[in-house]
Structures are given as structure tokens and as C-alpha cells.
Amino acid sequence: MSIENEVSYTIKNLPADISKYPKKEIEQGYFSDLPEPLRIRNEGGLLKITKKVPINPTDLSRVEETEVVIKKEEFDLLWPLRAKTITKTRIYYPLENNLFAEIDFYHGPLEGFVSVEVEFPNNELRANFQPPDWFDKDISTEIWATNSVLADMNLADVNKKLI
């Protein structure tokens, strides 16, 4: 088990040099909803089951996360049992202090939505974090912005939340 400590934002614009950084295709399914979703994920061939439990129900940006790597045979058995799915391309863009902006380009019904997350190794780095100019609205505590909820939405739904 580990603590996931992250902030999430919408973006104003993409960095000009984004195409030169590593990316992964991510496909994830959910067996359950908030507040404690159970997720199955194929992250560029790395197959995992993840359980997230909020430390504080009003702060979804800090969760206890238990992750288990599974075999392809297990993934193939479990994948059809998911209730909903989300797909995205994630680009890992370097920031100061050895941090990364994980820029997610959503596909399917969410095509056109892009968000960015920054995960912190400690609370001090998080408290002193100054988002780059290309970051926009902080959506870290918005329930609708969690992937398990986004999996039930489309781009029009997201745009209504951003007004």
C-alpha cells in the first residue's frame, strides 16, 4: 500500500515540445464506483488491479492505493467483468524538482478532454508547488474529475462542469 498524493488540473495550452517525451496508452476498467473504486488497468502492457481508498472523504487528491501486478491470463479473465471503461494516452512531461506532469489525452466519449496530474513524493513539495503557466483550473477535489466518474461521462458533460 502507498499514499497517492497528487493534484489535477485542466490545461490552457500544451507545451510546444510535448511530442518528444515518453507516452503510454492506458486502458482501465472499473468494477465499482466512488468513494472506493476498484480498477483494472493495462498501462502500456503492464497489467494491474488497484484499490483506492480516500484518506479523507472530502479530499480525493490523497488516497491509500493498493496495487497488484497481475498476469495476462488473470487480466483476460477479469477484464470482461468491468462495469465501465476509460482510455487515454498519457505523456510524461518533466517539471522542476524531479516532478512530472502526467498529461492525459482522453479517447472515446471524452475525446478532446485533456487534464494533467502531478504526483508528489511528500507534502512539502506539494505545498510549495507552483503550477506552470500552461496549467489552468485546479480540479483536484472535484469528484466528477476522477477517472471512475469520468468513465460515465462524455465531452459535453465535462464541458458543463468546467463552466
Give the pLDDT band (50/70/90) at residue 35.
low
Q: Which DSSP category does 141 fall into? A: T
Mean pLDDT of the chain: 94
Asked if 82 and 31 touch (Cβ cutoff 8 Å), the reply is yes
Residues contacting residue 75 through CB under 8 Å, at least 6 positions apart: 40, 42, 47
What is the fold of 2-161? Answer: Hypothetical Protein Pfu-838710-001 (2.40.320)
The position carrying cell 502526467 is 102
Q: Report the share of the chain in percent with pLDDT over 90.
A: 84
- List the domain boundaries for the chain: 2-161
What pTM value is reported for the model?
0.93
The position carrying cell 488497484 is 50
> Tens digits of per-residue pLDDT, 108-160?
999 999 999 999 999 999 999 999 999 999 999 898 999 999 999 999 999 99
> Tens digits of per-residue pLDDT, 63-79?
899 999 999 999 999 99
How far apart are alpha carbons 139 and 131 in whole angstroms?
Answer: 13
